[in-house]
Amino acid sequence: MSTDIRNLEPKALWKHFHSLTQIPRPSGKKEAIGNFLLDFGKSLGLESLRDETGNVLIRKPATPGMEQRKAVILQAHMDMVPQKNSHIEHDFEKDPIQAYVDGEWVTARDTTLGADNGIGVAAAMAILESKEIAHPDLEMFITVDEETGMDGAFGLQAGFLKGDILMNLDSEDEGELYIGCAGGLDANIEFRYTEEEKIPEGDIVLKVSLKGLKGGHSGIDIILQRANANKLLFRFLKQAVIAYEARLAKVEGGNLRNAIPREASAILSIPKEIYEEFVEFTEEMEDLFIEEYSSVEDKLSLSVEPCSWEGGLIPEEIQDDLINSVIACPDGVYRMIPDVPGVVETSNNLAVVQSGEKNIVIRCLLRSSVDSRKEELASAIESLFTMAGARVGFTGGYPGWEPKLDSPILRCMKEVYQRKFGIEPKVMIIHAGLECGILGTHYPHMDMISFGPTIRHPHSPDEKVNIATVAKFWDYLLESLKEIPLKD
């Protein structure tokens, strides 16, 4: 099989996905991709708009015979999560994604692929461009900065959209229809200090690096119980402080609130005469971590090496409070949904720990499908870090999407799937945050559903999309557009 994704079927979809890989579109950089989408719509002679937030909307009239069916919004987001392996050079603001075919999957070379949510955008573009696909009145609505706070959904103004049914093309398991999702909340934690101590005379400065974890999407993959690089590093640091008189100078772990941290590092000092013993301790901790996570991690590494450091140390009291609170902070699955087997209700991702010259910043992303449980977890995190002397604030809260089992589009798409593929689709609630919950606050009477092809390891350099399910997703989408319910 050729490694060129443009040779895959359906070619109409893969052509547009390839185009998207050539346009840098990390969250926060919306101008180039927004212009690209706007120009695309105008080149087709379609009404093409961009709102104040940067969201792009393109309208296409119904094909002959479809005018009496409800209008449909094909909704996706234009940004992608910028994650790469540390050994490669890649500038997500300038360099294209190197996508290629790898057996049954499309993936990228050492970076995130952007199938989340580029496949959804490409599908909508292919439908707008086609002169043969039957559909009712259509709106392609592509939001900005979904991955960093759902800014596009929050910035949407009432009345901008005209459709009756919203198809969110941002789910990642073919054969599943999503009718509800978790809400989220960002925790912003800061330790401040006014002075730094100097490296003790006779100490050696070392860099400890934890690498090779799988990471992943902090909503979808949280149930997999993968290792969190921040949590493991701080377990190591506590033992280093207790047993080896280690002093912390700098710490850096994770970089995105919605990605499980894959790498973390620290600069510390220890008495020079115990260096060899400390190396042995590091190797023992590496072996322990590998054993503990052998079923979910296969490339975990923990290493230590001498390094240079021109700065000082984090004050000992702050160091100890930081280490103890990070170790105590809830991370991963907090609670499952009791009456929905296998679905996470509430979780926390201890996403970022970053020290600066005068402060240490910690960022967490809390998720829950139950608002009161989200508030309970937020209160626990606030109490913990406040007792440790940190400042704690919460931002970016967004609502969950409440399921509606009597949804007309759900009933329609269940029937289409059963007829087309001979089995019933699974009706699901997802622990990730979909924009439907926010969009529903602007348009409370809109009928919404979410579906997509099978994507694995989103938000990590292992991201890949299954080729066969993209074709199946495409066929299902086209068939569903033909069967959209009639207007009331």
Q: 451-471: per-residue pLDDT in tens?
A: 999 999 998 899 999 999 999
pLDDT, tens digit (0-9, with 9 covering 90-100), for 320-355: 999 999 999 999 999 998 877 888 999 999 999 999
**Catalytic choice (145, 146, 170, 463):** 146
- Mention every residue, 6+ apart, whose C-beta is less than 8 A from residue 71: 62, 136, 137, 138, 139, 162, 163, 164, 165
Active site residue 79: yes
Residue 201 predicted with pLDDT over 80 = yes
Place of tokens 């590496």: 286
pLDDT, tens digit (0-9, with 9 covering 90-100), for 86-105: 889 999 999 999 999 999 99
- Mention every residue, 6+ apart, whose C-beta is less than 8 A from residue 115: 17, 106, 453, 455, 458, 463, 464, 465
Total count of residues recorded for the chain:
488
**Catalytic choice (79, 164, 203, 286):** 79
Q: Spell out the domains of the chain, with CATH numbers in brackets.
A: 5-182+400-482 (3.40.630.10), 185-398 (3.30.70.360)
pLDDT for 342 equals: 87
Active site residue 339: no
pLDDT, tens digit (0-9, with 9 covering 90-100), for 370-413: 989 999 999 999 999 999 999 999 998 988 898 888 999 999 99
| Cis preceding linkage at 117, omega within 30 | yes
pTM above threshold 0.75 = yes
Distance CA 24, CA 32 (A): 8
Taking residues 73-82, report their average pLDDT. Answer: 97
HSE-up of residue 327 (Cα within 13 Å, Cβ side): 13
Residue 311 predicted with pLDDT over 50 = yes
HSE-up of residue 56 (Cα within 13 Å, Cβ side): 27
pLDDT for 2 equals: 57
| Distances 221 to 124, 191, 430 between C-alpha atoms, Å | 26, 29, 11
- Look at strands 165-168 and 72-77 and give their pairing: parallel
